[in-house]
Structure 1
Amino acid sequence: MIIDRESAEDVARSALPHYGPKVSASLTFVKYRENYVFKVVDETGRSYALRLHRGGYRSDEELLEELTLLASLSASGLQVPQVRRTVAGMPFCHVVDAEGDIHQVDMLDWVEGASPLGDIGDAFLGLEEVDASSFSALGRLIADLHLKVSGSLRPESSVRRAWDADGLIGSAPLWGDPLRLFEDLDAGGVVVAEAATKLHKQLTAYGKNIERYGMVHADFTPENVLVRDGQMTIIDFDDSGPGYYVFDLATAAFFYLPHRRGEEIVASLLAGYEEVRPLTDVDRSIWKPMLLARGLTYLGWAAERPGDPTSDFIAEHVRPFVVRLAQDYMGAAELV
């Protein structure tokens, strides 16, 4: 059973022999969110990201789907980390800890010399200096991803839960109920509840046409886009699954919406996307509702993790912003 970083490191070290005798030089903790991530450096100096997955979060079938997607995208030329197979040729391994619990571990190539595109906190608070042209490049990258997955992977074959109307704001959302972040449904909670009901109907009506719905990354925050010498690499496909393509764009834009250059950033992102994959008028009509849907997922995520520093940030800063989005959405709906 993993109860802290030390026990997680013990399990991670136990996984290293699965990747060969050379992969044992050093192991350094990097971060913990849904998974524990360690940096591994082998005897030749080559680096890898070892991921120790949270118990029960993903089935073996779900993890295999993610790693298969990564391998397919890498083979297509998209900049993503390569999956390193075990000495037995498997994309991940199982490690048994001292208490007999079984853990999933995989290993990806480390993206050397790269830095995150940004930080969600700094972006949201307007502390981050941004180059709008980088968001044009990001838009093109997201469009390229969507083109590649639409030609090879169909959402109906996925074993993962979908980022559709039900998964975003249904009765059992993937990331939790956003209303739990409001005490006794105060004024903000009431408008969010009303907006969620209306939004669910609108997203359901938007539908799952193959031009607007397929396999998505689902977590295009700036931390998950690494940049080196102007080249972007997409990491962390842990939440990938079937969903609306516009949802990926909404995720990439969301934390920059309050930024003083937010409108410019959004314009660059969408323009870059459309250089590769045009949006329809129907897609554009769902843009602001999808931003609200993305915001609601963050409230649900925070409600599931009380006391987490990121959850506290969301409760303090993002929640009132999402309330304003909901108010604007309901006001616009009344005008229709």
Structure 2
Amino acid sequence: MITDIEAAQRIAAQALAHYGADQAAALTFVKYRENYVFKAEGETGSYALRLHRNGYRTDAEILEELDLLAALAAGGVSVPRLRLTAQGEPFCRIPDEHGDVHQVDMLEWVADAVPLGDVGEAFTGEAVVVPATFHALGVLIAELHQKASTLQRKTPSARASWDVAGLVGGAEAVWGDPRRAFRAGAAGHEIVNRAMAWLETELTAYGKAPDRYGPIHADVTPENVLVRGNQMTLIDFDDSGEGYYLFDLATAAFFYLPHPRFDEVVSAMLLGYNSVRSLTSEDLALWRPMLLARGLTYLAWAADRVGDETSDFIFEHVRPLVVDLATELISPAVSQ
């Protein structure tokens, strides 16, 4: 088990040899959430080295993610390109001093790029909204879905699915039951409980036709969209799996919900998406419900990380927003 950044960096340094790189190559810590990410700089270029949290993903899950990335890149979608090991493998396995084995992969570093934004600033309304930027984001998401819809899977997916069960399946959901976020008598439990049952009916009726369901990114937050001039690149496919295409759009818009220019964000993004791939009336009818489904997943995620700074933000700010969304959608349904 990795206990600190220094231990993670020692494992990352060992992994460099598997890529034909000098173990003395510069390694700079970038971030830690579910995985440790380092920037590796050497004679052959710069790369994002990702050290997976031990036991978080199976080899099959990682391979599926990297296969998707490779297929998207080959299809012209703007995503990082995978660097294979010296043996031609998509990732390597490195044991630590305790005998635990860690999976490590490397992707090309997206140079001279900055994140589209920050979820906190999007939520507070401080983020600068340029409609042309969100139009471009809609185009990028549509290009991803266009290519993903052509991929043929020979075996069942090894990764969790963002479908009815994955979103509102209670304890069986990808990140667990969002109702756990209402411990200690937090307001909204009952309306969220009813909203989940309602969403289950709506999503089941929506179905999994190939024009609306397939491989998705599942985490298109502003931090995971890198911008360099007029070029956008989508990074961090760690949550990718099969799901509703609309879920990616809802994720991209979710943290802008309180922003005074939210409607402009959505309008520009959907216009961009429609320029590549048409949304149907059934898709658009599910737009607000899919925003609610996305919000519920964040509550479930936070419920497992009480005391974490991001979880505190979700409990304080996202939870009441989700309750408001649930109330908006359920009240008309109940009155009919």
TM-score normalised to the size of structure 2? 0.97
Q: Secondary structure at the match of 1:182?
A: helix
Q: Secondary structure at the match of 2:258?
A: coil
Cα distance in 2 for residues equivalent to 1:72 and 1:230: 23
Whether 2:64 is the aligned partner of 1:52: answer no
Q: Is the 8 A contact 1:62 1:160 kept in 2?
A: yes
- Provide the residue aligned with 2:64 in structure 1: 65
Cα distance in 1 for residues equivalent to 2:42 and 2:248: 35
Q: Secondary structure at the match of 2:275?
A: helix
Q: Is the 8 A contact 1:123 1:259 kept in 2?
A: yes
1:307 deviation in Å?
1.6
1:184 deviation in Å?
4.6
Matches within 5 A, 1:32-181: 32-43=32-43, 46-154=45-153, 157-171=156-170, 172-181=172-181
Question: Which amino acid is 2:137 matched to?
Answer: L
**Segment drifting more, 176-185 vs 62-71:** 176-185
Report the RMSD for the aligned CA atoms in angstroms.
1.4
Change over 3 Å in CA distance of 1:201–1:185 after alignment to 2: farther
Q: Secondary structure at the match of 2:102?
A: strand
**Segment drifting more, 111-120 vs 129-138:** 129-138
Cα distance in 2 for residues equivalent to 1:39 and 1:21: 13
- Provide the residue aligned with 1:251 in structure 2: 251
Percent sequence identity over aligned pairs: 59
- Provide the residue aligned with 2:26 in structure 1: 26
Aligned length: 335
Gaps of 5+ in 1: none
- Provide the residue aligned with 2:326 in structure 1: 326
Question: Which amino acid is 2:266 matched to?
Answer: V
Q: Secondary structure at the match of 2:242?
A: strand
Cα distance in 1 for residues equivalent to 2:217 and 2:251: 10
Q: What is the CA deviation profile of residues 253-289 of structure 1, one whole-angstrom value per residue up to 9, with x for unaligned ones?
A: 1001110100111111111111111111111111111
Matches within 5 A, 1:279-298: 279-298=279-298
1:108 deviation in Å?
0.5
Q: Is the 8 A contact 1:155 1:242 kept in 2?
A: no
Q: What is the CA deviation profile of residues 195-228 of structure 1, one whole-angstrom value per residue up to 9, with x for unaligned ones?
A: 1111112111111011111110000001010000
1:23 deviation in Å?
6.2
Question: Which amino acid is 2:95 matched to?
Answer: V
Cα distance in 1 for residues equivalent to 2:205 and 2:154: 18
1:332 deviation in Å?
2.6
Question: Which amino acid is 1:16 matched to?
Answer: L
- Provide the residue aligned with 1:205 in structure 2: 205
Cα distance in 1 for residues equivalent to 2:320 and 2:326: 10
Cα distance in 2 for residues equivalent to 1:262 and 1:156: 40
Question: Which amino acid is 2:69 matched to?
Answer: L
Question: Which amino acid is 1:254 matched to?
Answer: F
Q: Secondary structure at the match of 2:208?
A: coil
Q: Is the 8 A contact 1:132 1:268 kept in 2?
A: yes
TM-score normalised to the size of structure 1? 0.97
1:153 deviation in Å?
3.7
- Provide the residue aligned with 1:275 in structure 2: 275
- Provide the residue aligned with 1:224 in structure 2: 224
Cα distance in 2 for residues equivalent to 1:221 and 1:155: 30
Q: Is the 8 A contact 1:218 1:239 kept in 2?
A: yes
Q: What is the CA deviation profile of residues 112-170 of structure 1, one whole-angstrom value per residue up to 9, with x for unaligned ones?
A: 00000010011011111111111111111111110101012449732111100100110
Q: Is the 8 A contact 1:23 1:43 kept in 2?
A: no
Regions of 4+ moved over 4 Å: none
**Segment drifting more, 254-263 vs 169-178:** 169-178
Cα distance in 1 for residues equivalent to 2:184 and 2:154: 37
